[in-house]
Amino acid sequence: MKSAGIIYKYKHKKAEEEAYRLKDWFEKKGIKAFVKEMSKDEEYKEEPVFPKDLNWLIVLGGDGTLLGAARKIGRFGIPILGVNLGGLGFLTEISYEELYEAVSLMIEEKLEIQERTMLDVKVIKEDSEIGPFAVLNDAVINKKTLARIIDIDVFINNEFLTTFRADGLIISTPTGSTAYNLSAGGPIVYPTVDAFIITPICPFTLSNRPLIIPDTSVIEARLSKKDDESVILTLDGQVGISFHYGDRVVICKSPHVIKLIKPPKHSYFHILRTKLKWSGKT
């Protein structure tokens, strides 16, 4: 029997109602369906919320809900259909009104599945190692509170790159290029390009510019100074890990990929035009 998982946004009444309505719809078609509210826990938890052999995963919410779902179960290779109940997102590309049309096409295997690269992130401390974590959008190093700039030494494939003096540093996938990276002045990168983006946040030196590197690279970041305290590493804007002088953040391409089911009507460029409010053709 085919099966589907449905994850809906935390404490969102409309999403909850639609999740159980969709569950009934699936089961009338002979498809086993599981429903789960997205937890608000900030800690990264490894346990799966559904069986790992689902045929599909439907996420009802926004891009943040999909990021959490990707870490919890999407990394097992289950195709994800993202539905934004408020409009369109960069990851949740299907609107509420298009839900059942899209799900019907999904069941008939008439929708394209696109693979998205993830980051593999771990923190190496003096006597322990935290991770690895599979991250879809970005890993960000910055201050917990407003304070002076921090100095971050960055190495690429064991070769010293530079010391970024900035409010922080973003290491992003192409999928995450339209998230915090974009707000910090980084480039938009097409989501299937084999690359990572390194973007300083408000750099002290104007010559410290965003850098695009191959996704075969291994990136390592360290704090330059002992007095750079109260620093945190944030994964996908949802998981926080304290980061101290002497710790090392090591980032490479994850062995896991996220499979996103593409909407029937919208291209990536349509999403860009809509979300960024770019002018239409005159």
Q: Which residues are catalytic?
A: 63
Residue with tokens 């999909």: 66
Cα dihedral 11, 13, 18, 20 sign: positive
Contact 116, 277 (CB under 8 A): no
Side by side, the strands of the sheet bearing 138-143 are 211-214, 195-201, 168-172, 138-143, 231-235, 239-243
Q: Are strands 94-95 and 80-84 parallel, antiparallel or unpaired?
A: parallel
DSSP conformation letters of 102-133: HHHHHHTT-S-EEEEEEEEEEEE-SS-EEEEE
Q: Nearest CA to 64 among 171, 137, 131?
A: 137
Report which secondary-structure segment, H or E, holds 282.
none
Tokens 């943040």 belong to 64
- DSSP E strands in 90-229: the ranges are 94-95, 113-124, 129-135, 138-143, 150-156, 159-166, 168-172, 195-201, 211-214, 219-223
Where helices occur in the chain by DSSP H, the ranges are 13-28, 63-72, 99-107, 180-183, 268-276
Q: How far are the Cα atoms of 68, 175, 201 from residue 76, in angstroms, in the given order?
A: 13, 18, 32
Query: Three-class SS of residue 37?
Result: strand
